[in-house]
């Protein structure tokens, strides 16, 4: 997996957290640098931690699936991408109906965990890929998510929740394309 792949994976994984960050920005009465950093840290830390746990989990069974690991990566990333797209187009309650105006621990912790579950599955994919430095990968995922979410708070404050669905759809498409790329590379159809 190249640095570009990790960057695009990071962006795709951050889209759920970005959407919630936009809602946070929309509902925060007073926005400041500290609020944006706090939201970014919650999501960035959890997006970094979960792939590490997925990576460790994959270590338990990597030898058993070594011959078809590219198919597992393709299915996991494809399923995550499709799930993100479906969730984006389904009618659902606005995230701003929650206690989104708060950045207290009891509010942010469940949001950070919920938006980072996909990153757990991505960590499994990173282990199956084999040539990934997990520490570098989680650092990139965490930093990219932090930046995107901190900016999302500001964007939400300025523009409301207008782009939430588009961001989630874009994240889903990126995950699907990464899964296809991994599959095609391992089958020898392309090489990047």
Residues 161-190: pLDDT tens digits?
566 677 778 777 887 887 788 788 878 888
Using the predicted structure, report yes or no on whether residue 99 has a pLDDT greater than 60: no
The pLDDT-based confidence of 66 (bands split at 50, 70, 90) is low
Residue-wise pLDDT for 127-148, tens only, equals 877 778 999 999 999 999 999 9
Q: Phi and psi of 163, rounded to 5°?
A: -105, 10
Query: Residue 135: in which H helix or E strand, if any?
Result: helix 134-159
Domain ranges of the chain: 3-186
Read off the pLDDT band of 160 (50, 70, 90).
Answer: low
Environment class of 29 (CB within 10 Å of its CB; exposed 0-12, middle 13-18, buried 19+): exposed
Q: Indicate yes or no: pTM above 0.85.
A: no
Mean pLDDT over residues 80-92, rounded?
Answer: 76
Q: Work out the pLDDT band at 2, boundaries 50, 70, 90.
A: confident
For tokens 């997925």, the residue is 54
Distance CA 163, CA 126 (A): 29
Reported as a single tens digit per residue, the pLDDT across 15-35 is: 888 988 887 887 777 788 999
CA angle 82, 116, 28 (to 5 degrees): 105
How far apart, in whole angstroms, are the C-alpha atoms of residue 144 and residue 190?
27
């Amino acid at each position: 997996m190249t640095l570009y792949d990790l960057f695009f994976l990071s962006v795709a994984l951050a889209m759920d957290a970005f959407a919630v960050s936009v809602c946070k920005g929309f509902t925060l009465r007073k926005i400041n640098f500290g609020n944006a950093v706090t939201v970014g840290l919650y999501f960035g830390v959890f997006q970094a931690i979960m792939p590490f746990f997925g990576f460790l989990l994959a270590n338990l069974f990597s030898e058993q699936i070594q011959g078809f690991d590219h198919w597992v990566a393709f299915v996991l990333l494809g399923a995550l991408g499709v799930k993100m797209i479906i969730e984006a187009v389904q009618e659902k309650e606005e995230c701003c109906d929650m206690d989104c105006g708060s950045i207290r621990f009891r509010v942010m912790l469940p949001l950070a965990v919920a938006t980072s579950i996909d990153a757990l599955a991505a960590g499994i994919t990173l282990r199956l890929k084999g040539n990934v430095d997990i520490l570098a990968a989680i650092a990139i995922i965490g930093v990219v998510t932090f930046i995107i979410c901190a900016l999302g708070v500001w964007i939400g404050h300025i523009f409301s929740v207008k782009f939430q669905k588009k961001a989630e759809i874009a994240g889903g498409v990126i995950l699907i394309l990464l899964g296809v790329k991994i599959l095609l590379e391992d089958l020898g159809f392309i090489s990047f």
